[in-house]
Chain A
């Protein structure tokens, strides 16, 4: 395989566009602790599918607007190619 994947999220941005929703408010809506929201936002914890849907539901957006799945290594290789050319 040799490829690494990464799950990123736009929670911070979505909170900002939801009238600067606090982490506490989001935690209440998603039914988790504030610490879990902090960890998810900082990329330290990947939530379960259920929690991911709950967070998306809290923002009233589809899940793909909150979480993004991407290949890390491919991007690095592409960057290297770009640097060489």
Chain B
């Protein structure tokens, strides 16, 4: 599988894991009475904590992914070329795979737009819920979750553009 697609799948997976953990945490804390519907301070603290965790998890997964992907490429290259393969060639192949060219940039732009649209829809949905007299707790959660979903949608759009072309 190509580098960009594998990397995107890793990002989608980390986003999905974080979203699930967040939803489980909110539900558990709410049911345990630790999160009051009219008290947003603890919710804000939890969200900030998850943003921090999210950044950490994303960086960690990117590092692990790059290491594993490089090892995979190196093994593939040495199996393909046999004894004639040296470290320089392996390094060259790895660098070649990580090239971010004009197609990658164009796909980045297009998929980012999908992400922004999703986040925008999430924001409007949260406002609609607020206008319908739902508590701010719900509004803030919809807004927060929409960012996670936007990140995942961006990833799906990226895979779509890589598969179908731009």
A residues apposed to B, CB below 8 Å: 24, 27-28, 31-36, 39, 42-45, 47-48, 51
> Which chain B residue shows the least CB distance to A33?
B99
Does A45 contact B4, Cβ atoms closer than 8 Å?
A: no
- Is B104 close to A, CB under 8 A? yes
Residue of B nearest to A46 (CB): B166
Question: When A48-B102, A51-B102 are in contact, do A35 and B2 touch as well, CB less than 8 Å?
Answer: yes
Q: Could you list 12 examples of A-B contacts with CB < 8 Å?
A: A24-B93, A28-B92, A28-B96, A31-B101, A33-B99, A33-B101, A36-B101, A36-B102, A43-B165, A44-B164, A48-B102, A51-B101
On chain B, the residues within 8 Å of A45 by CB distance are 103, 165-166
A-B Cβ contacts below 8 A, count: 50
Q: Which residue of A lies closest to B97 (CB)?
A: A33
Q: Is the CB of A34 within 8 A of B96?
A: yes
**Size of interface on B: residues with Cβ below 8 Å to A:** 17
Chain A residues with CB under 8 A of B166: 39, 44-45
Which chain B positions have C-beta within 8 A of A42?
Answer: 165
User: Contact: B102 with A39, CB < 8 Å?
Assistant: no
Question: Is B162 part of the binding interface, using a Cβ–Cβ cutoff of 8 Å?
Answer: yes
- Inter-chain contacts of A32 with B (CB < 8 A): 99, 101-103
With a CB–CB cut-off of 8 A, which chain A residues contact B103? 32-33, 35-36, 39, 45, 47
Beta-carbon nearest neighbor of B4 in chain A: A35
Kindly list the 10 A-B residue pairs having the minimum CB-CB distance in the complex, ordered from nearest: A44-B165, A32-B101, A36-B103, A33-B99, A35-B2, A45-B165, A36-B101, A45-B103, A39-B165, A33-B101
Please give, as numbers and ranges, the residues of chain B lying within 8 Å of A35 by CB-CB distance.
2-4, 103, 162
Distance A51 CA – B103 CA, assembled complex (angstroms):
10
Residues of A within 8 A of B2 (CB): 33-35
The smallest beta-carbon distance between B12 and chain A, in angstroms, is 18
Q: Which residues of A contact B3 (CB under 8 A)?
A: 33, 35
> B165 touching A33 by the CB < 8 A rule?
no
**Which positions 54-105 of chain B face chain A at CB distance < 8 Å?**
92-93, 96-97, 99-104
In the bound assembly, the distance between CA atoms of A42 and B103 in angstroms comes to 14
Q: For residue A51, which residues in chain B have a CB less than 8 angstroms away from its CB?
A: 101-102
Bound-state Cα–Cα, A43 to B166, Å? 10
Give the Cβ gap from A16 to chain B, nearest Cβ, in Å: 21
Q: How far is the CB of B72 from chain A (nearest CB, A)?
A: 15
